[in-house]
A and B are shown apart, each in its own frame.
Chain A
Amino acid sequence: MEPIIIEGTPKTPTVKFNAAEGVFEIKGRSIPENSVEFYKPLVDWLDNYKESPLPKTVVNIRLEYFNTSSSKCILDVFKKLEAIHKAKNEVEVNWYYEEDDEDMLEAGEDYESIIRVPFKMIEIVE
């Protein structure tokens, strides 16, 4: 599978999905007006990856800001990961948040409570 590599912009995150390594990363700001347009290719890609995933998939989410429209798309990404996990593959989500950013920590906890995949909350200390 071809990896996805998208450079970040002021409104959209850097994305690196590498099927050969089983490491996926979303990093930066995700505040586009039309988040579906941005996330649909990622969700479709995960749909393919889901067919023959590696025994272990690691997902690093390191967002500075995301809007509510992205929050639904990020949930769609996690739902694909949940399906991979349910099919007896190891999936680990590392949810990074900046020091004192309780809102970002809470956002991670929201997903953790909805999605049945192990989450690790990691505080970034400057």
Chain B
Amino acid sequence: MSFNVENYFSDLSDKDIILFYKGNVDSDIINHILDTVEDKMVEMNEQPKLRKKVYNVLVESLQNLYHHVDRVPEDFEDQTSEKFGLLVVKKIKNGYKIITGNFVHAGNIEKLEEKIKRINRSSHEEIKELYKFILNHQRISPKGGGGLGLVDIARKTGNKLEYSFKEYNDKYSFFYLNILVTEDI
């Protein structure tokens, strides 16, 4: 299998990438990533408002991986990671781009895509209402997720969720989520 998750990033050597991680997403790694990115943003003198948004979005993205990733395919290079995920944080003009990647079972693609499409066709007001509805009506799943992560990301960034599914084999796809956190919102 020639599949390589890094091929997706033609510009990985880019100096604007402030963090790249792939591997198991556990609680310690999440702490480490959050600390690293927070320190870098302070170092770069980012405005508190932008810093907070990036931090919030990063928490939700990482915890989405933590709570929801499917197991890696049997022939994938990394079999030791129980929760395999990928994360890129890149400095862009006016803000940051956060990219996450993870495997999704073919059977789970439709549900995930439908959820994103629903968010993307909603206005900011509708997203606020959706957030409140889920907050008030949905219980925390056995996996520990609240079903609010993507809605919260869309609400806080004010941007559409860009995504793609790259087929790995007939059972799995690799899901990329591109999140833009920009200053002028």
Query: Which residues of A are at the interface with B, using a C-beta cutoff of 8 A?
Result: 10-11, 31, 33-36, 65, 67-69, 71-73, 75, 98, 100-101, 103, 106, 110, 113-114
Q: Are A103 and B156 in contact (CB under 8 A)?
A: yes
Contacts of A33 in B (CB 8 A): 27, 30, 63, 66-67, 144
Q: Are A36 and B144 in contact (CB under 8 A)?
A: yes
Q: Are B132 and A69 in contact (CB under 8 A)?
A: no
Closest Cβ–Cβ distance, residue B138 to chain A (whole Å): 8
Given the interface pairs A33-B27, A114-B135, the reply to whether A69 lies near B146 with Cβ below 8 Å is yes
Q: Is B70 an interface residue (CB 8 A)?
A: no
Cross-interface CB contact of A69 among B131, B136, B140, cutoff 8 Å: B140
Q: Are A65 and B56 in contact (CB under 8 A)?
A: yes
Closest Cβ–Cβ distance, residue A22 to chain B (whole Å): 27
What does DSSP make chain A's interface, helix, strand, loop or mixed? Answer: helix
Q: Is B149 an interface residue (CB 8 A)?
A: yes
Cα-based distance from A116 to B139 in the complex (angstroms): 20
How many B residues, CB 8 Å from partner? Answer: 32
Known: A33-B27, A68-B60, A106-B128. 19 other contacts (CB 8 A): A11-B31, A31-B34, A31-B63, A33-B30, A33-B144, A34-B144, A35-B140, A35-B144, A65-B56, A68-B63, A68-B151, A68-B152, A69-B145, A69-B146, A69-B148, A71-B148, A72-B140, A72-B146, A75-B135
Q: Which of B6-14, B46-54, B164-172 has 4 or more CB atoms under 8 Å from chain A? A: B46-54
Contacts of B140 in A (CB 8 A): 35-36, 69, 72-73
- Using CB atoms, name the residue of chain B closest to A11: B31
Query: Which residues of B are at the interface with A, using a C-beta cutoff of 8 A?
Result: 27, 30-31, 34-35, 48-49, 52-53, 55-56, 59-60, 63, 66-67, 128, 131-132, 135-136, 138-140, 144-146, 148-149, 151-152, 156
Closest Cβ–Cβ distance, residue A65 to chain B (whole Å): 6
Contacts of B146 in A (CB 8 A): 68-69, 71-72
Q: Are B27 and A68 in contact (CB under 8 A)?
A: no
Contacts of B49 in A (CB 8 A): 100-101
- Using CB atoms, name the residue of chain A closest to B141: A69
Q: Are B52 and A103 in contact (CB under 8 A)?
A: yes
- Using CB atoms, name the residue of chain A closest to B144: A34
Cα-based distance from A69 to B147 in the complex (angstroms): 8
Contacts of B152 in A (CB 8 A): 68
Closest Cβ–Cβ distance, residue B17 to chain A (whole Å): 24
Q: Are A113 and B63 in contact (CB under 8 A)?
A: no
Contacts of A31 in B (CB 8 A): 34, 59, 63
- Using CB atoms, name the residue of chain B closest to A104: B52
Contacts of B59 in A (CB 8 A): 31, 65, 67
Cα-based distance from A31 to B63 in the complex (angstroms): 9
Given the interface pairs A65-B59, A68-B60, the reply to whether A110 lies near B135 with Cβ below 8 Å is yes
Offer 17 A-B interface pairs, CB within 8 angstroms, sorted by A: A11-B31, A31-B34, A31-B59, A33-B66, A65-B52, A67-B59, A67-B60, A68-B60, A69-B148, A71-B135, A72-B135, A72-B148, A73-B140, A75-B135, A101-B52, A106-B128, A114-B132
